[in-house]
A and B are shown apart, each in its own frame.
Chain A
């Protein structure tokens, strides 16, 4: 999952990015002002945007309104140092999905970020069960038929992204966009290598491959395996 943090207080943005990378293993980009934030958000490759309200150049509320007016439906979590009912109502009406008052708890921020990403993809439970595969996004563990499968962080992130979009063809480009931030040198063959490893690990004890490869188009998580369950 890839998150955009728009926050002018650089130290806070750094801490947020570090926590989101270390905790749920998200890819994180940071923007220091509203203008850059809006440009980045326009690319549409984010699964969540964390937006500060008081920003140089363009303030957070304006960024949010512009985004929503362009039909960008990426979940937005607002960070605000002002609390008051009026501004809360204004924020939610402008299209914010959630908000946190500063100073916030990092653990709470991560939990809310995960919940927003989940809901943004149409899921409500943090534990996904596709056929006999169970992905627990809280513990970041994967089981197949009850047996724990040990995945590398990148393999896990690929699978996590795919369980959020079952039965949909996910292209290599989409995976690259949503799993890596701008700090990474990325090439599509990186994805291929990780997918290959993931497929091997999932097939260790089973005879049916849940990750389907569609040549030239991408990958798909098959939801209904024959004889599964």
Chain B
């Protein structure tokens, strides 16, 4: 992709506009200059023709003729002229001219015309003048009509106009040059905050997420939205990245410990020669350790999938949470019986929630397993699904030891130390509740764990009814309060 420079575009646009104006100004100036020059040229022509008119004298002959007295006349050598009397008789003319073109002198009025004489451009004036010859003291004198034709070469005029055009062109060119340089410098200065912003943004890397937009960018009205958007995006990315990193680190810890168990079991077995029974027992123990590891891996994958779906767009389902809960309750019945725990399930009808059937089952089984694992013999575990106006509540209660209030805020964290099943070694992975939270979050619901230490705990999940976006917010706010012991 071709890259283009904003500054260059701006500068060339401005220069182009300036150039168009300059051409217009030069054209106008040239037109005005031509007009002014020709006007003064014409005045000069008239002046010279008048002086010729003044040179017409009485010829002092019997025929009472007039003549052209050229003494005292100072006319440029290249000028051409001709003077005739009313009768058309030539009184005099310049030697370098054959006379005006026929037709130009026919009209009675004065006029000016262009012509070429000896290969040069001339402007010629025809003047019908009235000359009073010999005015004496008596106030007499004879008026004589004389035709004066006077021409002068226009080369000088054109030279003047050309000079004016060259002057305007040069000064405009210099102006363009100065504008370009000045604009480049000003833009460079003006865009400094943008460059600073880019420099700061360049420093972002996997190891350094913090983005501190430079003050110059924040204080620039055009850049402030970009700077704050970048910094907010970076913050979100950093949070998500550190979450991922923590998950990987936690997962590595769990897996390393699980591997350590398997490895140490086998090494212990290999430490010395043992009986067949000892070997058989050792292998059995190792297999149990392997199953535990498998379980951790499977749950980690489930959690990763659930969390990945959280960021997905469309919600799955709808499916019936009550049906899923009933089926899970049935599945866990024998396990509850083995532990001498009574399992009670109630539902007030179908409850459609925006989750897939698999997710509903996962949610119910994780919560129920958790409750069963913490239930001492001869107690009761209650699971219920209730439909309200626009939400569904899943409630699972046990009568175990409850959760340490200090650990309550952390129970939904991955590999939570608050999950007592881990230290009791009941097979928990510390991921069950984290998976539940990811599923509930995905559906836009809320999950809390209420606990009275020594008397039991209750997991309460509130989900919006499928296809009713309303009420999601109220669910989240209504479950914000966690009753203490």
Contact = CB atoms under 8 A, between A and B. Distances in A.
B423 interface: yes
B63 interface: no
Contacts of A33: 423
Given A9-B261, A103-B256, A22 B272 contact: yes
Nearest to A105: B267
A81 B260 CA distance: 9
Interface stretch (A13-21, A69-77, A114-122, A136-144): A13-21
A9 B417 CA distance: 12
Interface string A29-41: 0001100000000
A103 B260 contact: yes
A56 B256 CA distance: 17
B70 interface: no
Interface residues of B, number: 24
Nearest to A12: B261
B252 to A, nearest CB: 7
A102 B267 contact: no
Contacts of A104: 260, 263-264
B423 A102 contact: no
Interface string A98-117: 00011111110000000000
Nearest to B254: A81
A166 interface: no
B148 to A, nearest CB: 111
Contacts of B272: 22
B264 A32 contact: no
B477 interface: no
Contact of A82 (B249, B260, B268, B285): B249
Contacts of B259: 102-103
B271 A22 contact: yes
Given A102-B260, A103-B259, A106-B267, A81 B253 contact: yes
B142 interface: no
Contacts of A44: none
B257 A12 contact: yes
A16 B264 contact: yes
A10 interface: yes
A220 B123 CA distance: 144
A102 B252 CA distance: 10
B196 interface: no
A33 to B, nearest CB: 6
Interface string A54-73: 10100000000000000000
Nearest to A59: B417
B265 interface: yes
A51 to B, nearest CB: 14
Nearest to A104: B260
B425 A10 contact: yes
Contact of A19 (B260, B264, B285, B289): B264
Contacts of A16: 264
Contacts of B254: 81
Interface in B2-39: none
Contacts of A79: 260
A14 to B, nearest CB: 9
A196 B393 CA distance: 74
A8 B257 CA distance: 10
A23 B422 contact: no
B266 to A, nearest CB: 9
A23 B272 CA distance: 9
A11 interface: yes
Interface string B58-78: 000000000000000000000
B273 to A, nearest CB: 12
B261 A81 contact: no
A18 B285 CA distance: 14
B268 to A, nearest CB: 5
B253 to A, nearest CB: 4
Contacts of B425: 9-11
B161 to A, nearest CB: 84
A54 B257 CA distance: 10
B265 A15 contact: yes
B259 to A, nearest CB: 4
Nearest to B407: A56
B265 A81 contact: no
Interface string B267-290: 110011000000000000100010
Nearest to B263: A103
Interface string A1-12: 000000011111
Contacts of B262: 103
Contact of A18 (B249, B268, B423): B268
Nearest to A22: B271
Given A32-B423, A81-B252, A11 B271 contact: no
A203 to B, nearest CB: 31
B265 A11 contact: yes
Contacts of B423: 8, 32-33, 56
A103 B376 CA distance: 34
Contact of A106 (B252, B268, B285): B268
A15 B257 contact: no
A9 B264 CA distance: 12
Contacts of A22: 268, 271-272
Contacts of A8: 422-423
Given A54-B253, A104-B264, 16 more contacts: A8-B422, A9-B261, A12-B257, A15-B264, A15-B265, A19-B264, A19-B271, A56-B423, A79-B260, A102-B256, A103-B257, A103-B259, A106-B263, A106-B267, A106-B268, A107-B267
24 contacts: A8-B422, A9-B261, A11-B265, A11-B285, A11-B289, A12-B257, A12-B260, A15-B265, A15-B268, A16-B264, A33-B423, A54-B253, A79-B260, A81-B252, A81-B253, A81-B254, A81-B256, A81-B260, A82-B253, A102-B259, A102-B260, A103-B256, A103-B260, A104-B264
Interface of A: 8-12, 15-16, 18-19, 22-23, 32-33, 54, 56, 79, 81-82, 101-107
Question: 6 closest Cβ contacts across the A-B interface?
Answer: A103-B260, A15-B264, A106-B267, A81-B256, A102-B260, A81-B253
